[in-house]
Structure 1
């Protein structure tokens, strides 16, 4: 009996211990294992060459995921380093899209990099190098794609290519996006004589991969070919990973059990997981995928890379993956010493409090020392300087500081100081003139200190915040996996906000001529607004106003650089719209959609009832509609603000809608236009005044402005 009791207790202990080991942690927990990379990256391809792991990914959270072509590398799968790869541009234009990259080691020992691009056609292009990180050379000097748009059938979008080397040495490619509209995925064999063309390509029928969207990924388990793919929509919580299997790389494929095998979890801390690759370590499998950030950025394109265990029941059956914030156990023992700043006390000049119609969330200073890539400290606004102070608790040796800023591929100018008492500061590292991006930024010295102070002075891109995923501090030096350093940027630090009224367009300040042809801008940038089309100065309801019938006013001054990229703004107007249309009706625009033609690169204030009806950004997944459309044929004060994180629209002093987002405003060729967009979309109604600022007014100031400018 005693033996049975002991055995029973042992079984209970084992099972409860196992259950405890499987328990997830909160998304904000210090030391969380997911995400594994500090920054905005998606569509990860993981590879291991030699003893180094590499993650090639889409750089996210700008211009429809069109950031720099970078690679992350690590020896211990815990400490990752980012490098901006040198990839020759196309003959016709520079490369902006570096989408869903994949890499293949050729039989010649060279490395072949492939990625999708839609700037000269939605194609897959190829490059070659002697190293997994470049420098890269074109496979075709004429920019001939490896997989062209419309191949293997007409109008097929050739994106999201992934390559698979079979056990017989043949290399197959699988590609396609929006495949539910385009008849299914494609498969072909890569010609290994040149590594630059596909042969024997064909369509995989939709019925063989139910509910698909994009991101096919092939692997082999035993004798079975496992075709994994992403379904539903990448923009929301429905995104997921599914699979089918076959006895041949060409199929036919049979849908697998347990589909989808990876989905948004119950509490939505892992939101919209998908577009993955698989790492095999001995007999263990790990799925590397991206998920949406929290709080979620509008459109779902601020994504982060995660990893979780993937288990096969047999060669053709995958268990459902349990997505987590905890991540996986350490794959390897790390040689990196203890981070003495882990969970150290922090203070800061400020921190951002996100209060929107969806979220109430604080980007706390303590997030900079929690070794969690889901959290970051972010200053209260995008002005500088901003500082962060770390208290190590006692005086300690400090030989290395590693700082992971929010954007890995843009430089930050900063200085690091140290102190024994938190009052008298000495310089540890001076990066006040820095123009080199990196993550982490590595600063070495040899001092004794209790306090460290990071002061962010400027950024490469307009509107970027002082924001840090993690700052790590070490008492001893250690070797890095590769000796790589990014090239210095030729771009000067971003222009900062003037904190001024830029545009003052007011009917009360204009002459009484009904056939008015020009209006002086009373704002700080000056200039003349010139009329095109039909706009008249009239009195309506006893109020002097511009009556837009089919015309607009265009300013002869360049759009200020403070409005570029992620620059903050406020645009406020008194308008009366006799009839609210379902589309069109732009009140003001200040970006050029032809410069990039990508979502988030365009901004305009609109007044119509459709999904794009308040803040227009070129794509319904990112545009902001009115929660309650302002009533027709009545005067309203409509305000659109953006502070670099949160876009808000106010109607008559009341917050109507809001969304988190990052903009990449294209202003170089743009004009400030009142009453229309850069392609027309004319407003038909009355406007008493319009004011524009290069900063975000707070709610109290907006109400004050509304009352001061109310037309009489």
Structure 2
């Protein structure tokens, strides 16, 4: 290796070190809201808890992701027993996975989930948002692929009007073009159609419909563009009935790529309210973007305030890396103060990123590397919490403890650990703890308590 080459590399590293950090690369960022790659979110609140359902990226999974939180900031991951690709599929559903859930509470007091499996829409029901969820339509899709073969039968979203009447909106296009939106009134059982579905496609619609009410108006919000690029965005249209006709509103689109803020391709959203204040929950591309390879489309969930006026108009959204949400804790719970060291797979994924309280940044382990936490002095540690890059994948993890950083003893080993957070009891008094994960594995955050 030549001296000139080494000098060039060193100069490049120094330049990178001197360059200002990107806007998303900061301490204690509120967005992304949850750790990991998820898309197409739906959110509800019941019994003092928040429930967030989402597609598992990349491009769905055999299961659906569900996150629960009592304070809106500290979330715990699980996968409901229904829907699954095995339990909710038909001969015409195709190879695509489970994605795009919509969860609502009906006038009858039960909860209903409308979810895409392949290119079809299925419906399940449960006594509470936590479940247990089960098929509600006799083991067959509510909307089959052949309902309108020229379009994609996905992205179903339910809307319950003030009088308890429910409507279902759905539809996308094929090959990222020609999206169409359908709507049908639902009978009180939330499964049978009350009338024939209607095509209510507004201008510039592609997919992801979500209806809200503003005064006497019905506002249809939706996505346009291509989620794999930087053209994905949120638009809206205003109608006087749940069936429209819908006319695109002023200031549409309301949420778009903002490269100055490091926000790329925001869309497929849900709108929820805390009191009178509405918020938009949406996915956007994970950072840095674009990514090479098979995992090029990895999306993350963010939330920002929304302004909806009585005349149905919506103000443009300023996407952020952390907005206050009424009813959410101002910050996530933090563990013991520590400093982190360890070899990383590359300069972008250094060890400090596993302790910056930012779900846009992570430590990626170099081969044979460990992540060492220094507490500054010997302290009692009851447990550790790990938020790994992929909440649904298994990881072999182990933790050692040391008083002096030279002599180590293993305090926990967990093969095939999964979930988020992964909670590991350690019950030691030590200054140093050392985490071992597989080479290449990513750690969003490592906390000690």
Alpha-carbon distance in 1 for matches of 2:418, 2:106: 31
Which residue in the other structure is 1:47 paired with? 44
Partner of 1:98: 98
**How far is 1:172 from its partner?**
0.6
After superposition, the C-alpha distances for 1:664-699 in whole angstroms (9 at most, x for unaligned) are xxxxxxxxxxxxxxxxxxxxxxxxxxxxxxxxxxxx
Equivalent residue, structure 2, for 1:372: 358
Does residue 162 (structure 1) correspond to residue 157 (structure 2)? The answer is yes
Q: Are residues 1:430 and 2:416 paired?
A: no
Of 238, 250, 256, which residue of structure 2 is paired with 1:257? 250
SS in 2 for 1:195: coil
Partner of 1:173: 168
Distance 1:175 1:375 in 2: 34
Distance in 2, Cα, partners of 1:220 & 1:235: 30
- Say if 2:196 is the partner of 1:210: no
1:454-482 deviation per Cα after TM superposition (whole angstroms, max 9, x unaligned): 1125xxxxxx83210111222xxxxxxxx
1:367–1:200: structure 2 CA closer, same or farther, 3 Å change rule?
same
Task: Give the secondary-structure state (helix, strand or coil) at the position aligned to 1:187.
Answer: strand
Structure 1 427/235 Cα, relative in aligned 2: closer, same or farther at 3 Å? Answer: same
User: Does the CA-based 8 Å contact 1:68-1:96 persist in structure 2?
Assistant: no
Residue of 246, 256, 277 corresponding to 2:270: 277
Matched, 1:140 2:126: no
Residue pair 1:60, 1:67 contacting (<8 A) in 2 also: no
1:58 to partner: Cα distance: 0.5
Corresponding residue number in structure 2 for 1:302: 298
The one of 373, 393, 405 equivalent to 1:390 is: 373
Q: What are the within-5 Å matches in structure 2 for residues 282-681 of structure 1?
A: 282-296=275-289, 297-298=291-292, 301-328=297-324, 331-333=327-329, 338-341=334-337, 344-348=338-342, 350-353=343-346, 362-380=348-366, 383=367, 385-431=368-414, 434-457=415-438, 465-474=440-449
Change (3 A) 1:338 1:367: closer
Q: Offset of 1:315 from its aligned partner? A: 3.5
Q: Which residue of 1 aligns with 2:73?
A: 78
Quick one: structure 1 residues 154 and 408, their matched pair in 2 at CA, closer, same or farther if it must change by over 3 Å? closer
Partner of 1:251: helix, strand, or coil? coil
Q: Relative to structure 2, which stretch is displaced further, 278-287 or 331-340?
A: 331-340
TM-score (norm 2): 0.87
Are the counterparts in 2 of residues 306 and 327 from structure 1 also a CA contact under 8 Å? no
SS of aligned partner of 2:416 = coil
Q: Aligned in 2, Cα 1:260/1:106: closer, same or farther, shift over 3 Å?
A: same
Tell me by how many angstroms 1:238 deviates.
1.1
Which of 236, 255, 264 lines up with 2:229 in the alignment? 236
Q: Write the distance in 1 (CA, Å) between the matches of 2:190 and 2:228.
A: 37
Which structure would you say has the larger Rg?
1
Secondary structure of 2:53's counterpart equals strand
TM-score (norm 1): 0.56
Structure 1 residues 304 and 288: CA distance shift in structure 2, 3 A: same
Aligned in 2, Cα 1:415/1:197: closer, same or farther, shift over 3 Å?
farther
Instruction: Give secondary structure in 2 for the equivalent of 1:368.
Output: helix
Q: Is the CA contact (8 Å cut-off) linking 1:67 and 1:97 kept in structure 2? A: yes
Change (3 A) 1:304 1:91: closer
Residues 90, 140 of structure 2: 8 Å contact kept: no
CA contact (8 A) 2:279 2:305 kept: yes
Aligned equivalents of 1:82 and 1:56: distance in 2? 10
Number of aligned positions between the proteins: 420
Shift of the alpha carbon at 1:38? Answer: 0.4
- Residue 285 of structure 1: how far off its partner (Å): 1.2
State the Cα deviation string for residues 274-327 of structure 1 (Å, max 9, x = none): 100012001111111001011223585200000111113444111110001133
* Rounded Cα–Cα distance in structure 1 between residues aligned with 2:282 and 2:179: 25
Aligned to 1:131: 128
Shift of 1:198: 6.2
Inter-partner Cα distance in structure 2 for 1:66 and 1:275 = 17
Contact 1:146 1:197 in 2 (8 A): no
Say if 1:150 and 1:156, in contact at 8 Å, map to a contact too: no
**Partner-residue secondary structure (3-state), 2:352:** helix
- Following superposition of structure 1 onto structure 2, how do residues 29-68 of structure 1 map, counting pairs within 5 Å? 29-61=26-58, 64-66=59-61, 68=63
Q: How far apart are 1:150 and its partner, in Å?
A: 3.9
Alpha-carbon distance, 1:107 to partner:
3.6
Would you say the 8 A contact 1:368–1:471 is kept in 2?
A: yes
- Distance across 1 between alignment mates of 2:434 and 2:218: 53
Displacement, 1:140?
3.2
Aligned partners of 2:74 and 2:333 also within 8 Å: no
8 Å CA contact 2:157, 2:168 repeated in 1: yes
Gaps of 5+ in 2: 1-21
Aligned to 1:367, the other structure's residue is in SS state helix
Give the superposed CA RMSD.
2.6
Cα deviation for residue 194 of structure 1 reads 5.5
Structure 1: how far apart are the matches of 2:221 and 2:27?
A: 32
**Alignment check: 8 A CA contact 1:147 1:197 kept:** no
